Amino acid sequence: MPAFVLDTNTVIDYFKGRGKVAERLLAVAPREIGLPAIAVYEVWVGVLGSQHARRRESQYEQFLAVIEVVPFDSAISRRAAELRLALERRGESIGPLDTLIAGTALACGATLVTRNTKEFGRVVGLKVANWHD
């Protein structure tokens, strides 16, 4: 299991050279990094829709080859469902894909690396880190 699970915005910041994401990401062993299958999908949407899709596709495939893609399996889907219901009962829902990403991090016992600390901060028990700042 990875120690860190990346949110979509962290991957985008890495490729765009924003903040300290690249520096912090490269300081961690690749085996410690996971990317939820949901985030893989979200990044693919941006890559394939880019004006430089061919180049971006190659860069992204190289990135995916060295980290762990965390599949959205039955255990993670249950954890995400429990999370969604808990947030709804408190009136603090987050976006549906963010719920799946948070559920992945929780199921892995990993720290979620995101710039979106306000939204993910509503998730009880979720460890969150911002590598942008």
63-100 residue pLDDT tens? 999 999 999 999 999 999 999 999 999 999 999 999 99
How many domains does the structure of the chain reveal? 1
Under 8 Å CB-to-CB from 58, ≥6 apart: which residues? Answer: none
- Output the pTM of the full model: 0.95
Residue with tokens 């990875």: 2
- Distance (Å) of CA 115 to CA 16, 31, 42, 89, 120: 14, 22, 15, 25, 9
> 1 pLDDT band (50/70/90 cuts)?
confident
Both tokens of 115, joined, read 């710039």
Predicted pLDDT at 25:
96
Q: What angle do CA 65, 33, 44 make, to 5 degrees?
A: 50
Query: Which CATH number goes with the domain that contains 61?
Result: 3.40.50.1010
The per-residue pLDDT for range 32-45, each reduced to its tens digit, is 999 999 999 999 99
Average pLDDT over residues 8-25: 96
Predicted pLDDT at 111:
98
End-to-end CA distance of the chain: give it in Å, rounded: 26
Range of the domain at 51: 4-129
